[in-house]
Amino acid sequence: MRKTLTGLLAVLAMGLGTLSLHAEPLAYPHKVVTLVTHSSPGGGSDVFLRELTKYLGKYIGATFIVENVQGGSGAKAVARVAGAPADGSVFYATTPTYIYTSLLSKPSATYKDLEPLVNLFADSEVIYTRTDGPFNTLQDVIDKAKKERGRWGAANPASLERQAAEQLKRAAGVNAAIVTHEGGGDMMLNVMNGTLDIGIGEIQELRSQLAAGTIRLLATFNPERIPEKPDVPTVRESGYDVSLVKFRGLAGPKGLPEDVTKVWDVAIKNVLADPDYKKRYTEEVLVPNFIPHAQYQAFITNFADTTEAFLKETGAVK
């Protein structure tokens, strides 16, 4: 009898475990949800969203589509989402770009017109160059910039990558030309064909070229070396006191209902713990940095205030 009871309990436990692992997706008020990005196809936010959508449907009862709205360094995408209904049907992929665009220009809608929903990741910014080019280290790039100025690529005029490049210029005492693009894919092409000495971007944009061995990483702006890329030095280790980390999350129109934000808080925690997704984002060198809805507004406000202070210090804004 005892053995029989033990066996039944074991079977029951296995069944409950299976139920918890394969629970029904959370009910949601919309069958289709649009995730908007300012990034071009192949750019960092585009890759992030398209990979995320492969797993979200397991945890939220909806179909997710990605919409690329390019132009104005993110201004058009922000305006698209700010003007959408605040019902949970449309969201924007937040990165520092939407803060920089709001501060450096006068768009029709700014980061203040969106409601931060939830943050998912911290993303490593890296400096890369083509493998068959003349640069083996970051110092090689700086040495050329001292002699011939040089050309460095950044994703768009109002981006963390652009500010990383500007801060590196200042720290190194060089006057390299910063060439901006509307997306990481376009910048990659110009690095590969030698138009640019280096590009600054995220590893997830570079995965195909890294696997093919056509580009090399010269440094990361992370405070510490990337665990998955231990041979890549930090910019600080290379002798230049610059350190930056990118955030990746979601925001919607202002006034999101509580029943929507609660679903996303639960679903994002679950999707970040999903073993299949975890394997994918670890390969992309994305670090989970879950910030729930109740705390994300304060995070964005603090980032924006710090960024504005830096831009005023450097004379970029008055």
Is the model more confident about 162 or about 81?
Answer: 81
- pLDDT band at residue 18 using 50, 70 and 90 as cut-offs: very low
Q: How far is CA 139 from the centre of its chain?
A: 27
pLDDT tens for each residue of 290-305: 999 999 999 999 999 9
Is the model more confident about 157 or about 262?
Answer: 262
pLDDT tens for each residue of 106-164: 899 999 999 999 999 988 889 999 999 999 999 999 999 999 999 999 876 767 888 89
Is the model more confident about 233 or about 315?
Answer: 233
Mean per-residue pLDDT, 155-181: 87
Is a pLDDT exceeding 80 seen at residue 308? yes
pLDDT score at 191:
96
DSSP H/E element including 306: helix 293-313
Same fold, 11-123+247-313 and 125-220: yes
Domain boundaries, the chain: 11-123+247-313, 125-220
Q: Which token pair is 197? A: 């000495």
Q: Which token pair is 261? A: 């934000």
Residue 176 φ/ψ, nearest 5 degrees: -60, 145
Cα separation, 51 vs 70, whole angstroms: 19
Is a pLDDT exceeding 70 seen at residue 1? no
pLDDT score at 180:
85
pTM confidence score:
0.74
CATH T-level topology, domain 125-220: D-Maltodextrin-Binding Protein; domain 2 (3.40.190)
User: 215 and 194 in contact (C-beta within 8 Å)?
Assistant: no
Q: What is the DSSP string of 78-135?
A: HHHHHTS-SSSSEEEEE-HHHHHHHHHS--SS-GGGEEEEEEEEEE-EEEEEETTSS-
Task: Please state which of the four CATH numbers 3.90.400.10, 3.40.50.1970, 3.40.190.150, 3.40.50.10470 is assigned to the domain occupying 11-123+247-313.
Answer: 3.40.190.150
Cα separation, 253 vs 92, whole angstroms: 9
